[in-house]
Homo-oligomer: A and B are copies of this chain.
Amino acid sequence: MPTSNHSQQPIGIFDSGLGGLTVVKELNLHLPNERIVYFGDTARVPYGGKSAQTIIRYSREIVRALLKYKVKMVVVACNTASSLALEVLKKEFNVPIIGVIEPGAKKAVGVTRNKKIGIIATSSTIKSGKYAKNILKLDKDVRVFSQPCPLFVPLVEEGWFAHKVTYEVAQQYLAQIKKAGIDTLILGCTHYPLLKEVLGHVMGLKVELVDSASEVAVKVQELLINKKLLRSRLGPAGHVFIVSDEPEQFKRLAIRFLGGGVKNVRRHHYV
């Protein structure tokens, strides 16, 4: 297989915190030869209620930090950062950058039969309207129903995945889009796959839950093949995890997402 000079370099991924590890998990499955440099902005998490200006500034700083690790491409795993900063990042940096919104929208459009798609995400992601825009670009006949769910991230971080309270919060948040008769629900935040049991229960069996992580992995694979950037070398993945707050807490919580294998965790110091 022909490869470019950069093919042995790692893939850069970032998220506001731990959520992006759901994308790392899918990449591990689809592209086991690849090395990953993951950046979790744990000192400034969460992004979901913050402004575009702030999210753009944070994302820019993180891409710069990832480029120091000579990453061959960047995955913006955070839905909020993908919604608010992706276009700016693509303009400013000379490395392939992909987000999670477009793959998630594509998957949902492929899944829906009644052309009614629901989106749950952070307030900032919903406010950006990026999911709706991407869906309508693919199929202008789809009807989109959006709901911000600001309590889901703290509930995941509390570890209340299948708690009675989480169930009740989900019932309240999902009431409107359930009533709208959607058949497809986009989990528009990397934390939400951990609530699949509760979300599935509340929405019922006829609604398919779409999380973009696996679709993102497919898109990364396509991009690496097209650009001749697939890593050919076999052997241990040797991922590096960088966090802006204390590494120990990240290690402890990361197991909820990855189930293990989080060893090389470093602390990033902002200048």
> Chain B residues with Cβ under 8 A from A164's Cβ?
168
Q: Does A51 contact B (CB under 8 A)?
A: yes
Interface centre among A153, A155, A169, by most B CB within 10 Å? A169
Specify the chain B residue showing the minimal Cβ separation from A271. Answer: B271
Per-position 1/0 for A163-194, Cβ under 8 A of B: 01100110010000000000000000000000
Interface size of A by CB at 8 A reads: 24
Q: Known contacts A44-B44, A158-B151: does B51 contact A245 (CB below 8 Å)?
A: yes
A246: interface (CB < 8 Å): yes
A54 partner, pick from B50, B155, B245, beta carbons under 8 A: B245
Give the number of copies in the complex.
2
A249 lies within 8 A of B51 (CB)? yes
Which residues of chain B have C-beta atoms less than 8 A from A94's C-beta?
Answer: none
- Say if the beta carbon of A157 comes within 8 Å of chain B: yes
Q: What is the bound-complex CA distance between A245 and B54, given in angstroms?
A: 6
Q: Within 8 Å of chain B (Cβ to Cβ): is A129?
A: no
> A46–B269 Cα gap in the complex (Å)?
19
Q: Is A204 an interface residue (CB 8 A)?
A: no
* Complex interface: chain B residues within 8 A of A49 (CB): 157, 249
**Bound complex: CA A54 to CA B43 (Å):** 7
Chain B neighbourhood of A54, CB < 8 A: 43, 244-246
Instruction: Tell me if A155 and B151 are in contact (CB < 8 A).
Output: yes
Q: Name the distance in Å between A246's Cβ and chain B's nearest Cβ.
A: 4
Verify if A154 is at the interface (C-beta below 8 Å from B): yes
- Of B43, B44, B50, B151, which contacts A154 at CB under 8 A? B151
Provide the residues of chain B in CB contact with A150, threshold 8 Å.
154, 157-158
10 closest A-B pairs by beta carbon, nearest first, are A51-B246, A154-B154, A43-B54, A54-B245, A44-B44, A51-B245, A165-B168, A50-B245, A151-B154, A150-B158
Binding site for B on A (CB under 8 A): 42-44, 49-51, 53-54, 150-151, 153-155, 157-158, 164-165, 168-169, 172, 244-246, 249
Q: A153-B154, A154-B154 are in contact. List 8 more A-B contacts (CB 8 A).
A: A43-B54, A51-B245, A53-B246, A54-B245, A54-B246, A150-B154, A151-B155, A164-B168
10 A-B pairs (CB sep. < 8 Å):
A42-B50, A49-B157, A51-B245, A51-B246, A54-B244, A54-B245, A150-B154, A154-B154, A165-B168, A165-B169
